[in-house]
Amino acid sequence: NFGAGIDHIDVDAAAARKIIVSNTPGVLTEDTADIAMSLILSVSRRVVEGANVVTNGQFKGWTPTWMCGRKLYGKRLGIVGMGRIGQALARRAKAFGMQVHYHNRKPIPDMLAEELGATWWDDLDQMLARMDVISLNCPATKDTHHLLSAQRLTLLQPHAIVINTARGELIDEEALAEALKSKALFGVGLDVFEQEPVVHPGLIGLPNVVLLPHLGSATIEARQDMGDRVIANIMTYQNGHRPPDRVIPAML
């Protein structure tokens, strides 16, 4: 697979048929974290909305209360999934003075948690209810499908921001659109969608929603590195060895 995600591949069935599956992990970590941080900034400071105001000729000058967003310094960021990308995002958020919190199947090593200034939450629901920004950075599996469900969306505070740069299936988009319609959230930033490339119509055209066309790994450097990893996996297999990025069911 040319990419890190393997949710579109039945890895169990492949293993049963002795079909080797490989992907390209690691090489798109920093680029995806950049996009996640970009969405956090864009939604919180209403960057896209403001740019559209200028482009459409609607900017009439500065006023004290117009186009006020929310500052990031001191805010709580809840990262769901503290793998490579989650950790890279944590480093960026820390640089912006945010408080880093995370939910993971198990806590990261103490030394790494100290470096990132990250606090582990065993209970996802409790973390969601206390965060200012939620970023989804976990893989799409049977257990994470609609992880951010209609019920869980009700736990979020009205000023909360939701960011998803992982997989669209993690969010119930119908429920998300309803939450935005009822002003239950401050804003949303999405780089992936549940029925990609189709976007839920309830998410389109809202000033507090920033939608990107799956740009997570879209840098020249990342795509080159991904291609190199694909070639390395193929050549290693052809030479009679185990591909370095082989995916097996036990890893999921």
- Residues annotated catalytic, as ranges: 167, 196, 214
Distance between CA atoms of 46 and 49, rounded to whole angstroms?
5
Distance between CA atoms of 1 and 229, rounded to whole angstroms?
10
Kind and range of the H or E run holding 115: helix 110-116
- Contact call for residues 32 and 217 (beta carbons, < 8 A): yes
165-181 burial code (b ≥16 CB/10 A, e <16): bbbbbbbbbebbbebbe
Instruction: Establish whether the linkage from the previous residue to 25 is cis, with ω within 30° of 0.
Output: no
- Contact call for residues 32 and 219 (beta carbons, < 8 A): no
| Residue/partner pairs of 143-150 with CB below 8 Å, 24 or more apart | 144/169, 144/170, 145/169, 145/170, 146/170, 146/171, 146/172, 147/80, 147/171, 148/172, 148/176, 149/175, 150/174, 150/175, 150/178
Distance between CA atoms of 36 and 38, rounded to whole angstroms?
5
Which amino acid, residue 133? V
Distance between CA atoms of 234 and 175, rounded to whole angstroms?
42
